[in-house]
Chains A and B, each alone.
Chain A
């Protein structure tokens, strides 16, 4: 375990050093992230300008969902997306062989190899937004509420990771998979709004087919202590565990079909 931690630290300091070369991009990334969040808030403001409350959620409650979405987005830009792109490259070029030969678990190596600092603005903005929205709800959220919500966000991240890893695994069979990532990212956009704000077919799809509900809506619900949260908490845990195991098994299965560069 300590070996894994040590290796992770080495990987990350190396990739941060590499990215620091382009730090002028940082301002640009910050501006873009702020614009994206601003646009999402504008959309909500238009939806809330009359008496309408999306699926019974109030304005600050809906802002919390946007905030959690922004945090997850930042997280996936920082930790998940760079590694996903890398897996695709490794398989296409046949250099995955070198990873498989290393005396360490290949899934671990592939999941932590790179981090990118470009997700930081989203993480910062998302947390700021979450705190602001939390002060505006009635009653305002306290530390205990956040402490309850945090594990749910972690589960959301786990689901996101497992989903992404399974999609990357598909590269072993289909070489050009970048577009699948785009297609999934487009569908995940649904997480910007509380799932009860959607019509029934959408709710079913985003709960049981693509579990977007567990990524943003359930953490917000838990923090707000909405009734019936217990079922969703259990559900979230179940989905996360099942998907992590599935991602693991799928990777092991896929490796049997991996024909390396030379064979």
Chain B
């Protein structure tokens, strides 16, 4: 156990150091995830009309939470994995006594750590777009002070979101064993994620039947669920974590099956 912990710490440290080298780039990456802030403008204006379930302040809080969750659950494993497979760099990794999947996971964790200070600054800046999100207004009075359990659950939810996205993308990435150029087809799952996860539409504004259907898919738990916990505190907790658990198990099994089948098929340099 201690040796496993030591390995994890060492690898996280290495990837953290690697990422910090490209600090300036990380700022740009953070800006390129500014979609929630654009959508915040559209929805705050819509919320102010009073025609929607959320009012302007609630919209602003929701999208600031979305921005934060998005920053901490960025997953790009498919691009890395494709490159490793196509260039044959996966071969030496297979010789090591540790599953390459851990390497990819820790690379993401290292990047998240290096991103953290920038994320905090950017989130603070978000409030300048709609300051009332902080101290409330006539419709939603009171400061936005998430309670301790809200924060704890949101952090747990955020990491569930990361695990779900990672498993989904990593399973899709296994296609690289057969098709080589798999990152281009990644849009087939990225676009449903974009529109059904709550980045673009606060899901409670969907018609009730559509909301019920979407809640059985893994997408809302990748953004909407943790963001709603943080912004509002009212979320279907039991059902939420249950659905997450089922999807994690399903995707895990799919991933392992594809990994084994893929390795048999793998025929890059030296394999």
Measuring CB to CB, which residues of chain A are less than 8 angstroms from any residue of chain B?
25, 28, 31-32, 35-36, 39, 42-43, 46-47, 49-52, 54-55, 176, 179-180, 182-183, 185-187, 189-190, 193, 197-199, 201-202
Contact = CB atoms under 8 A, between A and B. Distances in A.
A185 B42 CA distance: 18
B28 to A, nearest CB: 4
Nearest to A185: B32
Contacts of B38: 186-187, 189-190, 202
Contacts of B130: 199
A186 B25 contact: no
B188 to A, nearest CB: 7
A47 B45 CA distance: 11
A39 B184 contact: no
A179 B187 CA distance: 19
B42 A52 contact: no
B31 A54 contact: no
Closest 4 CB pairs of A and B: A179-B28, A39-B195, A50-B51, A182-B32
A42 B42 contact: no
Contacts of B201: 42-43, 46
Contacts of A43: 195, 200-201
A52 B34 contact: no
Given A25-B181, A189-B38, 10 more contacts: A28-B188, A32-B191, A42-B201, A43-B195, A52-B49, A186-B33, A198-B42, A199-B44, A199-B45, A202-B41
A108 to B, nearest CB: 29
A39 B46 contact: no
Contacts of A49: 205, 207
A179 B51 CA distance: 38
Given A35-B191, A52-B46, A198 B41 contact: yes
A51 B51 contact: yes
Contacts of A202: 38, 41, 129
Q: Is the interface of B mostly helix, strand, loop or mixed?
A: helix
Q: What secondary structure prevails in chain A residues at the interface with B?
A: helix
Contact of B31 (A25, A186, A189): A186
B28 A180 contact: yes
Contacts of B187: 32, 35
A28 B28 contact: no
A183 B31 contact: yes
A186 B41 contact: no
Contacts of B41: 190, 197-199, 202
Contacts of B129: 201-202
The size bracket of the interface on B is: 20 to 34
A47 B194 CA distance: 16
B32 A183 contact: yes
Contacts of A197: 41-42, 45-46
Interface in B25-65: 25, 28-29, 31-35, 38, 41-42, 44-46, 49, 51-52
Nearest to A186: B32
A50 B46 CA distance: 11
Contacts of A187: 31, 34, 38
B42 to A, nearest CB: 5
Contacts of B205: 46, 49
Contact of B46 (A35, A36, A47, A176): A47
Interface string B230-255: 00000000000000000000000000
Contacts of A25: 181, 184
A28 B184 contact: yes
B206 interface: yes
B70 to A, nearest CB: 12
Given A179-B28, A187-B34, A55 B191 contact: no
A189 B35 contact: yes
Contacts of A186: 31-35, 38
B248 to A, nearest CB: 25
B52 A52 contact: yes
A39 B192 CA distance: 8
A74 B210 CA distance: 30
B188 A32 contact: yes
A127 B157 CA distance: 42
Nearest to A49: B207
Contacts of A190: 38, 41
B185 interface: yes
29 contacts: A25-B181, A25-B184, A39-B194, A39-B195, A42-B195, A43-B200, A43-B201, A46-B206, A47-B42, A49-B205, A50-B52, A52-B49, A52-B52, A54-B46, A176-B25, A179-B29, A182-B28, A183-B32, A186-B34, A186-B38, A189-B38, A197-B42, A198-B41, A199-B44, A199-B45, A201-B129, A202-B38, A202-B41, A202-B129
